[in-house]
């Protein structure tokens, strides 16, 4: 609770929740960031403003797993190599 409240003073515009834990998504929610994105997991997506299914990225490298979320923000996530 305290961590989420402490984050409010920074007025974040967006929060990307990388861990799959409930704790992480609750902290993001309590930060009051208007945009909170993460993977759907254990019915926690109701605390997020946008989410995507994890199964699309489970067999990919961890970098692709995490950057996949950035597509929800409109970022170009195509490999540059």
What is the SS3 assignment for 29-64?
Answer: HHCCCCEEEEEECCCCHHHCCEEEEHHHCCCCCHHH
Return the percentage of the chain with pLDDT > 90, whole number.
42
Whether the model clears a pTM of 0.85, i.e. scores above it, the answer is no
Angle at 18 between CA 51 and CA 53, to 5 degrees: 30
Per the structure block, which two tokens stand in for 19?
């861990």
Residue 24 binned pLDDT confidence (cut-offs 50, 70, 90): very high
Per the structure block, which two tokens stand in for 27?
């902290």
Summarised one tens digit per residue, pLDDT across range 40-77 is 887 888 999 999 887 766 777 888 888 888 888 888 87
């Amino acid at each position: 609770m305290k961590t989420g409240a402490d984050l409010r003073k920074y007025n974040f515009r967006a929060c990307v929740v990388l861990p799959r834990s409930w704790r992480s998504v609750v902290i993001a929610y309590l930060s009051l960031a208007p945009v909170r994105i993460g993977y759907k997991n254990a019915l926690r997506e109701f605390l997020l403003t946008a989410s995507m299914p994890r199964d699309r990225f489970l067999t990919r490298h961890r970098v692709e797993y995490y950057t996949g979320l950035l597509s929800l923000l409109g970022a170009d996530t195509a490999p540059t190599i």
